[in-house]
Amino acid sequence: MLVPLPVREIMRTPVETIGPDAPVIEAAKRLRDKDIGSLVVESDGDCVGIITESDIVAVTAAEGDTRALSVGDVMAETLVTVGPDVDIETAVDRLRTNNVKKLPVIEEGELVGIVTTTDISDYIPHLARAGGATGEPSQRERFTRPDTLYEDEDWTFESYGTVDGIDVGDHVQFSKTITQGDVEAFAEASGDTNRLHLDAGFAAGTRFGRRIVHGTLVSGLISAALARLPGLTIYLSQELSYQGPVDIDEEVTARCEVVERIQDNRFRLATAVDDSEGNCVIEGDAVVISDPIPDTA
């Protein structure tokens, strides 16, 4: 499932601030000592600007006595901000529209945090694609959990992890034959009645020469695989690249591997779907939350 993620959940806090009358050299030292990329400039409790590493590099390279400059001389006065309860997609739009990399977070006139492109890229894979998975996942005892309401004898899956939650290196795969009935049911449920998937005569004249399965239906097997990881897996984002078609009545296998723990119960996964011959037809990555299974007793 997909849920919107508010800025509040990923922002950094507390925020490092500085006054506009402080010397630029002081700002440079604080950026270095704190290992951060920016300082929000405050005056009388109001946010009046921001000074970044790039600003300091620019003035250092300029001619003249840069040590005599104050933060107010160098800072960006046009401050682009965001509220803590907007979703991160809105924050991305604001960053891109204003060509900035950092957004102070303001709530009821107060500075409560800051969010950067680096922070957001941990949750939206297409902003910073994760590296490929490395190493072999540990081979642990196979298990099943009460994550799914039912299973079908024609479905197969393997999941390795711990019953208490997922971790880097854990992986899961799920296999299913996508039948004509599945394609027709998906078309009805989704409204995607493209004749390429439903009309053999029409499909014969296309570049594929035959009917093929909806790409979104194929990628849905990734969600099915994630449902069989330990815990309750909730999508935050999914990036996909379609590599090839899948025929009707072909068995496909979705594979997911946890490649990075982002924060607490948030993880990045490498995801893929293979056709019956082992060719990758979909690849991408996902970011998920792994919550505990609720007690329904």
The distance from CA 143 to its chain's CA centroid, rounded to whole angstroms, is: 27
Q: Of 86-100, 151-165, 174-188, 226-240, give the lowest mean pLDDT range.
A: 151-165
**Per-residue pLDDT tens digits for 22-35:** 999 899 999 989 98
> Does position 126 have pLDDT exceeding 50, yes or no?
no
More confidently predicted of 151 and 48: 48
Q: At what angle do helices 215-226 and 180-190 cross, to 10 degrees?
A: 100
How much is the pTM? 0.60
CA distance 220 to 188: 16
CA distance 260 to 52: 28
Confidence at residue 292, expressed as pLDDT on a 0 to 100 scale? 84
Nearest to 134 by CA among 269, 259, 255: 259
**Between the CA atoms of 189, 191, 196 and 200, what dihedral angle is there, to the nearest 10 degrees?**
60
At residue 71 the predicted structure's pLDDT band, cuts being 50, 70 and 90, is: very high
Confidence at residue 254, expressed as pLDDT on a 0 to 100 scale? 96
Confidence at residue 143, expressed as pLDDT on a 0 to 100 scale? 39
**Per-residue pLDDT tens digits for 78-89:** 889 999 999 888
Torsion sign across C-alpha atoms 192, 193, 198, 201:
negative
CA distance 174 to 190: 22
> Does position 2 have pLDDT exceeding 60, yes or no?
no
At residue 189 the predicted structure's pLDDT band, cuts being 50, 70 and 90, is: very high
CB 242 within 8 A of CB 215: yes
Report the mean per-residue pLDDT for the chain. 85
Per-domain residue ranges for the chain?
7-121, 156-291
CA distance 26 to 195: 66
Q: At what angle do helices 53-60 and 24-34 cross, to 10 degrees?
A: 130
Confidence at residue 176, expressed as pLDDT on a 0 to 100 scale? 94
> Does position 251 have pLDDT exceeding 50, yes or no?
yes
CATH number among 3.10.580.10, 3.40.50.1980, 1.20.140.10, 3.40.50.2300, domain 7-121: 3.10.580.10
Confidence at residue 195, expressed as pLDDT on a 0 to 100 scale? 96
At residue 140 the predicted structure's pLDDT band, cuts being 50, 70 and 90, is: very low
* % of the chain with per-residue pLDDT over 90: 55
**Per-residue pLDDT tens digits for 12-21:** 999 999 999 9
Q: Which two tokens stand for residue 100?
A: 């900035």
At residue 59 the predicted structure's pLDDT band, cuts being 50, 70 and 90, is: confident
Q: According to CATH, what is the number of the domain 156-291? A: 3.10.129.10
**Per-residue pLDDT tens digits for 270-285:** 999 999 999 999 999 9
What is the chain's alpha carbon radius of gyration, rounded to the nearest angstrom?
25
Close Cβ partners of 18 (under 8 Å, ≥ 6 residues apart): 26, 27, 30, 39, 40, 41, 42, 51, 71
Sequence-ordered alpha helix ranges (H) in 122-263: 180-190, 195-198, 200-204, 215-226
CA distance 217 to 221: 7
